[in-house]
Structure 1
Amino acid sequence: MDARHYFGAVIPIVTLCCATSSYAQTADVQHSQPGSDTPKGETDVSGSAASLADIVVTAQKRSERLSDVPMSITASSAEQLKDAGVTSTDDLGKLVPGFTFLQGNYGLPVYFIRGIGFSDTTLGVSPAVTVYVDQTPLPFSPMSRGATLDLERVEVLKGPQGTLFGQNSTGGAINYIAAKPTDHLAAGFDLSVGRFDQVDVEGFISGPLTDTLKVRVAVRREYRGDWQYNYVNGDTIGKKNFLNGRAIIDWEPSGAVKLSFSATGWRDKSDVQQEQFQLFRPQNPEDPNPRPVPFPISTYPKAPDNARAASWDPGISFAKNDSFYQFALRGDVDLSDRVKLTNIASYAYFKTHIPLDLDGTIYPAARNSTDGTIKSFSEELRLAGSLGSRLRWMIGGNYQKDRVDESIELSPQIATEVKIGPFFYDDFVATNSQNIGTKSGFGSLDFDLTDRLTLQGSLRYSDQDRKFRGCTRDGGAGDLAAAVSFLSSLITGQTQTIAPGACVTLSDQTGLAVPIVTGELNETNLSWRGSANYKFGDHALVYANITKGYKSGSFPTLPAAAVSQLAPVKQESVLAYEVGSKVDVFDRKLELTAAAFYYDYRDKQLVGTRAVFPFGFLPGLVSIPKSKVEGLELGFRAAPFRGLTIDGGGTYLKTRVLSDPVNPTGPFGSQGSFIGNNFPFTPKWQGIVNANYRFALSSRIDAFFGASATSRSKTTAALFNGDATIAPLEQLLVINGYTLLDLRAGVETADGSLRFELWGRNVTNKYYATNANRISDYVYRFAGMPATYGATLRYRFGQ
């Protein structure tokens, strides 16, 4: 089915928009001035409790009504985030159809939007979904853990966003908007207690220090006891220990100059979630002389379908030690009534230590430890303005410098194929250091051809230089060094000796171990976007967009036997076509959105296999030359009568691989074509519905209750060979669909100053998997959280 069928599906909604133009009041369409906080022409709905309020977003780096922005955006308020229990970016799937999160093989978060994402093992990989706080970048996904603290709202922009939000936004962008300092004294706290000894405390204080200086400080502490148990020996694990803080200082020395300084930091010492053992299967079942594994893993019991059940090595700490801080300074200067200069500079530092059990048993068969640091500096300078009442423009430049250092130690790694000739080895270290410099220039134009028809265009030119140093090292005991020395001697015909702790990665040309592998990847690209949108008064919008976006290439972190395994993968691109509509009807009681889209996806990056002589097929980064995404998205908000609000949405995705990478190899080593396969971690259907009802108990006290349901169809955790039957082994890497139900109820004072709430999440205790994996001889999966329940007390002063 080609894109015409999907674009055709949105025509009834567009027709509805046209038909409802009679509802629209005649009004001039006005736009906000650059950088203004409130768009002109915003509808006043404060007098009707049964009408929908306007949502203001900054998706185009200026404040606009969500209903006026010609792109697919899911915007959620701080209240909605709290109701859904969203405490990190990982949880946004509760509110955003088309969004998927998974924990990667080595514990790092990976985000997908509409099937676009990159599940890599590398700390320094640039994500396909970028994250920002107040337009300040968090350029690597692990940095985003604490971004949800003390927010006004979050905006999730779907589809390529490379022109205004930089390269590497092929999937989309997530922009968190932090709560800002107030011009009066305000304070508040949230205290939550729940199952598994959960105690979460969040508080803030805000107000003016002088007539021109305001400050806001917020702190959050999350604690939870063990929630997983070992189904073999009865041990427990799963503590959460997370501390997060942010301070914002706003200074307005004059009406034309505004400065905002923010300092953010967090520390995470939580236990890593433990996997659920599924199967022991030798990497090469036909090997006549496999390495003997000194544990009875072949008869190890499979984990039950219970979210809490897992298995891990006893006596080992699996607590993370991650930390992050960022300083950012934003300056806005009104050069005239129509021109604004904005500068945003930031420096971020991230450090990680993630220990993992990679076999899911109580035996010391496979453990992993990821250690690394990221240093990131970014600077953006832009001018924005307008000419007359019809033309709005923006021009700017960006510079970013990143340094990523990472080591992944696998020790022990006792598997059937961890041997070279007569030599066995149990540990090794994969290292990856990257220096990344990115320069870009961007601009945009919006022109109102008529009072209702607007044309938009934007582009960004990016130039990135990425330098790499890394290899696989002997773990220090000398076992791997001796094994590779033996192999190198066979290849070269001369006796070779590699010292303990040295690099053991061999040159593909000489067969000798190299002191260090180095490489460079220099790439340029031009992202662009063209859009036309037509407004039917203030109540309906139709639009059509064409967007080209890029995600930069990368060097892998892998146990590389040969230099060619560490070759980079080139940049990928998405050419996206989208048509859509936004309409509100029945006197602002119902708002509908619809979009149909088609993505021409080139050079999709993935962890695959490379042919490496004399080793055969080994892991490496590869590209799928051509693939596609087709889809439909529907959303709604409704206030049918006083006190009741309902919102929700759904996404349908059809993804397909259209051509094969070199040496397409399935997760269990089978050779064959990927053509016709769906993308991994991309459910065909996703849907979300939220309902809230509020009513007065007295003149001072209101009661409320609400429910939220999220649902998605099945997907897979890997690309399989063939497009028809999934083999029995591959069934272990199928992630079944599921539906989750959350409930809440409570009371609140009419002025919102005091609130008490009882809540339950996954109240049916649905068992579901979030990821499945095969590493070495072991197959395992990760389960979603079981039923949790608790209570929250909230107090606000001066709001």
Structure 2
Amino acid sequence: MASAARIRARLALSVSATALMLGGAPALAQTSGSQAESGPAVVDDIIVTAQKREQSVQDVPIAVTALSSEALQSRQIEGGSELLRAVPNVTFSKANFSMYNFSIRGIGTKAVSASSDPAVAVSFNNTPLIRNRLFEQEYLDVARVEVLRGPQGTLYGRNATGGVVNMFPELPSFDSEAFVTGELGNYDTKRAQAMVNIPLGDTFAVRGAFALTKRDGFDYNSFNDTHVNDRDLFTTRLSARWEPTARFRANAIWEHFEEDDNRSRTGKQLCTTDPGPTQVGSAAVVQPYTQDQLSQGCLPGSLYDDAAYGAPNGGSFGPIRLLSTSVSLGFDANGQLSYPIPLGSDPYEGIVQSRDLREMSTSYDPVFRAKNDVFQVNLEFDLTDTLTLYSQTAYAKDDYYASQDYARYVSNPAFIDSTQIFDFDGTPLPSTITPGGIYTDPQLGPSDRILSVDLSQSDNRQWYQEFRLQSDMDGKFNFSVGANYLDFKSQDDYFVFNNTFSMIAEYFYNVSLGGGGKGTVPCDENRPTECVYVDPNPLSEINGEGHNYFRSKNVIHTRSWAVFGEGYWDLTSDLRLTTGLRYTEDRKVTTPYPSQLLLGADLDGTPGAGTGGYVRSGYYALPDIEQQWEAVTGRLVLDWTPDLSFTDDTLIYASLSRGYKGGGTNPPRLDLNPGVVEYLPLSSTFDPEYVNAFEIGTKNTLLDGALRLNTIAFFYDYKDYQVSQIVDRISLNENFDATIWGLELEAVYKPTANFQIDGNFGYLKTRIADGEGSINVMDRTQGTDGWTVLRPWIQVPSNCIAPTEYVERILNSPFGPELANFAISALCAGSSRFGTFNPDFASSLPFWAFYGFEYDPLTEAPNGGRGFEADLSGNELPNSPSWTANIGAQYTWFMGNWDLTLRGDYYRQGESFFRVYNTEYDRLEGWDNVNLSVKLEDTRRGLILQAYVKNVFDDAPIVDAFTNSDDTGLTTNVFTLDPRLFAVRLTKTF
């Protein structure tokens, strides 16, 4: 009810603002005596290259939204992330690692892999960029942005199943011009832009543009008393144009983007705490550490409940369970066994987070650095009066580094004072592991709390070449044919550092705790037995070889080439047929590097008897995974331009198209010795996506050009849509079939030269195909009686399920809680060499005989113990709100040399889900956004004064979320909007 009232209030504000503009217009217009008001009211046309030829946006039989520089500025759309406010059926969110999810009609990038491609192709001046910062940097000297909705299987090709976002910069002209802009706003925002265009004779011109943005942080870190999530970035673009003859044209562009600040990669981390059960069947769960072992960390509660602002049950984490139950330092003053972390404790017990999504408590402020360069050379040569040859060459490089607190909440003091440890006879032990309750981690430094930090970095290089031959003949047939080649190399690294990892590596594997170990022993000839290498360097200078942190190293080389062509037949004066065909061949070579967290080996290379590892330090490569796909895609379009009595111009079209996006590899897991730890198999690859799309649409100009009304209906048959979730510390990508259908409406109405109202509406219905299923890591039992979720042995990252009767029998046994905890862990497949599921050990160590049963989780538990599959039949695709809508209105008062324009925009999207399971935990509430602006312009003097307010009501909706791994408690990273921003901007043009 409150939400509905809030929406009504915002709509009322928008309507009131529009009424104010209309009601105040006549008097002000009459006072101004402006002649402009009596002139014709015509909606501005935009020339686009959606079909790689210049056409009016109303003449293109494609669902395309084109935004000119003026339209972007009037709506205060300053970057790609804000395009959703102007395009129907579009959503946007940052992603958990180094990318983003721009979704069109429910199709986005939900596959997390270094080898995955974005489903919405992002292009810079018609060059597709696999890795880019076009959704992080701000628009600078932009001519227009085109958003093509639906699969673009011919001209744009391989990874345009969802659509294309194409940004076109302004190119040099043969007229002298320049501008300079300065802006001041809240959060101490300082923004500046400048451009200068210089013609050098009649055939050569250069253009330079520069943009700089600095502002303070949006988020408050209450632990460090700092503001984080700030911005410090700049963009530089230089371009040149050369036209030595009437038949030859060339332009070259270099654009550089750089950011260095403490922007947060993700938002707050939420959790509905899972304390663990106190009863399993007839067995009471008495020991806290046994409750922890039966806890998954976080429960699948709604992200909108107060309970979601807790912290995970830290006692359920494998390293904490090991350090608090199995690694004894000696005895305390009372003669009780003492552990680095007190027995059965939860370092996060009682932690309650602020309900403010922009306030968090972290011990480590984020670090964010990005650099991106794009070099492009475009050549045009008129072979004849009707044939033009185009060449486009581009090179791009992208470097990315982002580090932040992994948890975004601070633990309680966790470690004991190791100087107060005694031998069994009361003799003090000289242990220096945690003197004074402080542990010094080589990367994270000293702390009395649990510290955890992640690091995402990538290094990307791309070459692209396209040749295209295009006709412009007077007859009934024209064509565009071409070929292109893409060569893309990438290395993605994702690290997770935790001081409990280093403590285990240093003092559990490398040094005997019972003897009062004093630090890391080097993994060399002085250490003849099993050793786990600890990187001694600080976080900013790591060597990347350590086994005391998690590293996922992903190296990928993609080569793709294609030939394509489109033909345009004028069947009659008002009927045209477009046929397009494309052949694409993709080759991907992935070099897998298994992660090595807490794995070691003996000096002679013997696998570690305790860890299951094969090497002491470093990350070795497994054999390359080579993949290849061939795809034939294209489109067939019939468009009709009838002469109707009730419209000025009408285009009606129907199209069939096919799109394709390549598959890839899942990141490698641990490479474990099966004689120590037996891993469940997971697929190392995922399949490509294919979509068959049918679309009908009409584009209309009415009322002598004062109204544009475009409507579209579409249906998709989607095969193998790629979606990932974290399994065994990797992004496991799965494929699901689905159907999608929807409606879209775009309208611009300009009843007078002063007043314009524009808006769009999108309706979307997505449905996962019958029979599709997947294991929901938040609910592995799926409510099935007789099964219990368990924590595995420390080397195994993912939880499992086991028969409740066996858990109950173990808990009721007389063998003691310590052995019971070990036995419960061993119920997970792969947890221990002592499980009877390993045939090499079953006969010699019949472990379950102690408890009077035999059990093989690989054969007796569903999916090898991973859990029951959730039925996804009929579920919605993630990030697919059933509707999106935007309405904007602006009124201009013409007052002599000055024009005063007031504009308001209201945007809303409906409810959606961030995972395929569509549970209450997955639900994202609908949200809305209100923006206002005013502009005072004197075109004669080249002066523009603007003021704006974005996110007027300072809302912080959850726009997307990401579920973390089992072994970190299944916490949830959430993403939200920027807060209320207001600023004043002054522009001078020359």
SS at match of 1:640: coil
Corresponding letter in the other structure for 1:606: V
Distance 1:557 1:150 in 2: 39
Residue 168 of structure 2 is matched in structure 1 by 177
1:248–1:261: 8 Å Cα contact kept in structure 2? yes
SS of the equivalent of 2:464 reads strand
Evaluate the alpha carbon distance shift between residue 495 and residue 580 of structure 1 in structure 2; reply closer, same or farther with a 3 A threshold. closer
Question: Could you tell me how far apart the structure 2 residues matched to 1:794 and 1:787 are?
Answer: 23
Change (3 A) 1:691 1:172: same
Letter of the 2:733 counterpart: L
Q: How many angstroms apart in 2 are the aligned matches of 1:653 and 1:548?
A: 20
Task: Identify the residue that residue 22 of structure 1 maps to in structure 2.
Answer: none
Aligned to 2:704: 587
| Distance in 2 of aligned mates of 1:163 and 1:408 | 35
Distance 1:227 1:54 in 2: 38
Give, in whole Å, the separation in 1 of the partners of 2:135 and 2:463: 16
Residue 887 of structure 2 is aligned to residue 709 of structure 1: no
Instruction: Report the Cα distance in structure 2 between the residues aligned to 1:175 and 1:517, rounded to whole angstroms.
Output: 37
Q: In 1, Cα distance between the equivalents of 2:403 and 2:552? A: 15
Partner of 1:508: none
Q: Is the 8 A contact 2:608 2:614 kept in 1?
A: no
**Counterpart-to-counterpart distance in 2, 1:156 and 1:54:** 16
One-letter code aligned to 1:201: A
3-state SS, counterpart of residue 90 of structure 1 = helix
> Which of residues 368, 372, 377 in structure 1 aligns to 2:463?
377
| 1:679 lines up with 2:877 in the alignment | yes
User: Cα distance, 1:147 vs. partner?
Assistant: 7.2
Which of the two has higher C-alpha Rg? 2
Partner of 1:780: 973
* 2:637 paired residue number: 531
2:594 is equivalent to residue 472 of structure 1: yes
Amino acid at match of 2:211: R
Of the three residues 237, 244, 252, the one matched with 1:246 is 237
Matched, 1:279 2:271: yes
Residue number in structure 1 paired with 2:776:
665
Structure 2 CA distance for aligned equivalents of residues 392 and 196 of structure 1: 54
Distance 1:359 1:622 in 2: 26
Equivalent position of 2:957 in the other structure:
768
Does structure 1 residue 552 correspond to structure 2 residue 662? yes
Alignment partner, residue 297 of structure 1:
348
Partner of 1:26: none
**Which structure 1 residue ranges, 4+ long, deviate > 6 Å from structure 2?**
282-286, 422-425, 485-490
Is the partner of 1:637 in helix, strand or coil?
strand
| Counterpart AA for 1:326 | V
| Aligned-partner SS, 1:192 | strand
CA distance in 1, matches of 2:714, 2:941: 41
| AA matched with 2:701 | D
Structure 2 residue 575 is matched with structure 1 residue 453: yes
Residues 689 and 722 of structure 2 are in contact (CA less than 8 Å); yes or no, is this contact kept in structure 1?
A: yes
Gap change, CA 1:214 and 1:734, over 3 Å in 2: same
Alignment map for 1:37-76 (pairs within 5 Å)? 48-76=39-67
Give the SS at the match of 1:260: strand
SS of the counterpart of 1:481?
Answer: coil
1:84 equivalent to 2:88? Answer: no
Does structure 2 conserve the Cα–Cα contact (< 8 Å) formed by 1:667 and 1:719?
no
SS at match of 1:474: coil
What code does the residue aligned with 1:623 have? N
SS of the residue corresponding to residue 685 of structure 2 reads: coil
Q: How does 1:514-663 map to 2 (within 5 A)?
A: 515-537=621-643, 539-557=649-667, 559-560=669-670, 565=682, 567-608=684-725, 619-624=731-736, 626-660=737-771, 663=774
Q: Is the 8 A contact 2:96 2:973 kept in 1?
A: no
Contact 1:481/1:502 (<8 A) preserved: no
Structure 2 distance, partners of 1:140, 1:245, is 18
CA contact (8 A) 1:110 1:141 kept: no
In structure 2, the CA distance between the partners of 1:258 and 1:774, relative to structure 1 (3 Å rule), is: same
More strand as a share of residues: 1
TM norm structure 1: 0.84
Return the letter of the residue paired with 1:621.
Answer: N
Is the 1:532–1:543 contact (alpha carbons within 8 Å) kept by the matching residues of 2?
Answer: yes
Q: Separation in 2 of the partners of 1:388 and 1:572?
A: 39
Secondary structure of 2:599's match? helix
Shift of 1:622: 1.5
- Aligned pair partner of 1:120 in 84, 89, 111: 111
CA apart distance, 1:426: 5.7
Alignment of 1:436-451 (within 5 A): 436-451=558-573
Pairwise mapping of residues 486-501 of structure 1 onto structure 2 (< 5 A)? Answer: 498-501=614-617
Aligned-partner residue type, residue 48 of structure 2 = V
Deviation at 1:447, TM superposition (A): 0.5
Change (3 A) 1:205 1:609: closer
Deviation at 1:366, TM superposition (A): 3.3
Q: Are 1:385 and 1:393, in contact at CA under 8 Å, matched by a contact in 2?
A: yes
- My pick for the range that moved more, 774-783 or 453-462, is 774-783
Assess, with a 3 A threshold, how the Cα gap between structure 1 residues 498 and 51 changes in structure 2: closer, same or farther.
same
Counterpart residue identity of residue 501, structure 1: S
Distance 1:556 1:191, change over 3 A: farther
Q: Secondary structure at the match of 2:461?
A: strand
Give the match for residue 103 of structure 1.
94
3-state SS of paired residue (1:93)? helix
- What is the one-letter code of the residue matched to 1:110? N
Inter-partner Cα distance in structure 1 for 2:201 and 2:168: 24
Give matches, 1:341-360, under 5 Å.
Answer: 341-360=389-408
Moved more, 750-759 or 552-561: 552-561
Identical columns (%): 23
Measured in 2, the distance between the counterparts of 1:147 and 1:225 equals 16
In structure 2, distance between residues paired with 1:458 and 1:325: 32
Q: Distance in 2 between matches of 1:185 and 1:218?
A: 14
Looking at structure 2, the residues matched to 413 and 125 of structure 1 have their Cα atoms a distance apart, in angstroms, of 32
User: Mapping of 1:122-201 within 5 angstroms?
Assistant: 122-142=113-133, 145-146=136-137, 148-201=139-192
Secondary structure in 1 matching 2:154: helix
Aligned match of 2:492: 406
Structure 1 counterpart of 2:973, one-letter code: Y
Aligned to 2:483: 397
Contact 1:138 1:144 in 2 (8 A): no
Unaligned runs of 5+ residues in structure 1 are: 1-44, 504-513
- Rounded to whole Å, the distance in 1 between the matches of 2:876 and 2:464 is 36
The 3-state SS of whatever aligns with 1:321 is: strand
Is the Cα–Cα contact under 8 Å of residues 108 and 118 in structure 2 kept in the other structure? yes
- Contact 1:584–1:591 under 8 Å retained in 2: yes
CA distance in 2 between partners of 1:143 and 1:767 (Å):
23
When residues 160 and 563 of structure 1 are mapped into structure 2, their CA distance, relative to the original with a 3 A threshold, is farther
Greater Cα shift, 741-750 or 660-669: 660-669
Aligned-partner residue type, residue 666 of structure 2: P
Q: Within 1, Cα distance between the matches of 2:109 and 2:172?
A: 37
Q: Secondary structure at the match of 1:627?
A: strand
> Are the counterparts in 2 of residues 238 and 271 from structure 1 also a CA contact under 8 Å?
yes
Q: Distance in 2 between matches of 1:599 and 1:287?
A: 45
- C-alpha distance in 1, partners of 2:587/2:956? 45
Q: Which moved more, 1:523-532 or 1:382-391?
A: 382-391
Q: Which amino acid aligns with 1:787?
A: R
C-alpha distance in structure 2 between counterparts of 1:207 and 1:51, whole Å? 33
In structure 2, distance between residues paired with 1:334 and 1:62: 14
Offset of 1:337 from its aligned partner? 1.1
**Mapped partners of 1:82, 1:270: distance in 2:** 26
The structural deviation recorded for 1:367 is: 2.0
Aligned length: 714
